[in-house]
């Protein structure tokens, strides 16, 4: 073998391994798809419109048949202050599933969001289309599939978000989106 082939062989093997590892992964798509053809709730005069085309996004997926809307209460985060402190970050929420037996209906979700003074509009996705389209079954949240939050730039998923942990949330927001 020549010196050139000895030099190229390790790189060829490395490239082959990387290609195989990316093609055989069960991780979610690194690009998020944002369907916008869902019913919008919490769309009062004072709520901020959904901005799918915005560069910086904090994206929530919540299965309301299994979870509560507590994430959107002021006990987790002062959402009004957040909207003023990070006006360059679009908050996009997909609420999936309806469970009428447990009282988790569209009307109840709207009432909760209004009660919490949640300042953002929300997509209602009763058939789990967002979940399926983005392969969230295989996301970072293997043990918590009903409540998932992501930092997204453009359509690229940057990281899962630690929205309920104030110090981590602040550091992550600064790292991914900075301040305006």
49: DSSP letter: P
Q: Which residues have a Cβ under 8 Å from the Cβ of 28 and sit 6 or more positions away?
A: 134, 135, 136, 138, 139, 140, 157
Question: How far apart, in whole angstroms, are the C-alpha atoms of residue 169 and residue 45?
Answer: 28
Phi, psi of 160 (to 5 degrees): -65, 155
Phi, psi of 103 (to 5 degrees): 75, 20
Mean pLDDT to the nearest integer, 46-72: 92
Q: Which residues have a Cβ under 8 Å from the Cβ of 67 and sit 6 or more positions away?
A: 146, 147
Q: Which residues have a Cβ under 8 Å from the Cβ of 16 and sit 6 or more positions away?
A: none
pTM of the model: 0.80
Say if residue 8's pLDDT is above 80: no
Size of the chain in residues:
180
Question: How far apart, in whole angstroms, are the C-alpha atoms of residue 141 and residue 61?
Answer: 11
Q: How far is CA 103 from the centre of its chain?
A: 25
Q: What is the pLDDT of residues 102-128, one digit of tens each?
A: 778 899 999 999 999 999 999 999 999
Question: How far apart, in whole angstroms, are the C-alpha atoms of residue 112 and residue 87?
Answer: 23
More confident residue, 4 or 103: 103
- The share of the chain scoring above pLDDT 90, in percent, equals 55
Q: Which residues have a Cβ under 8 Å from the Cβ of 101 and sit 6 or more positions away?
A: none
Q: What is the pLDDT of residues 13-32, one digit of tens each?
A: 444 443 433 334 444 448 99
Say if residue 69's pLDDT is above 50: yes
Tell me the domains of the chain and their CATH numbers: 29-177 (3.40.30.10)
């Amino acid at each position: 073998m020549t010196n050139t082939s000895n030099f190229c062989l390790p790189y060829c093997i490395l490239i082959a391994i990387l290609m195989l590892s990316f093609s055989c992964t069960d991780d979610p798509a690194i690009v998020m798809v944002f369907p916008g053809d869902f019913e919008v709730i919490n769309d009062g005069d004072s709520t901020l419109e959904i901005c799918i085309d915005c560069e910086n996004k904090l994206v929530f997926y919540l299965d309301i048949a299994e979870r509560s809307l507590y994430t959107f209460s002021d006990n987790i985060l002062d959402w009004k202050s957040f909207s003023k402190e990070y006006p360059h970050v679009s908050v996009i929420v997909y609420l999936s599933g309806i469970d009428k037996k447990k009282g988790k209906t569209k009307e109840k979700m709207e009432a909760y969001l209004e009660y919490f003074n949640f300042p953002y509009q929300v997509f209602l996705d009763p058939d789990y289309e967002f979940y399926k389209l983005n392969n969230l079954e295989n996301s970072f949240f293997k043990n918590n599939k009903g409540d998932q939050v992501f930092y997204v730039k453009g359509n690229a998923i940057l990281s899962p978000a630690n929205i309920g942990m104030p110090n981590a949330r602040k550091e992550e927001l600064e790292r991914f989106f900075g301040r305006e």
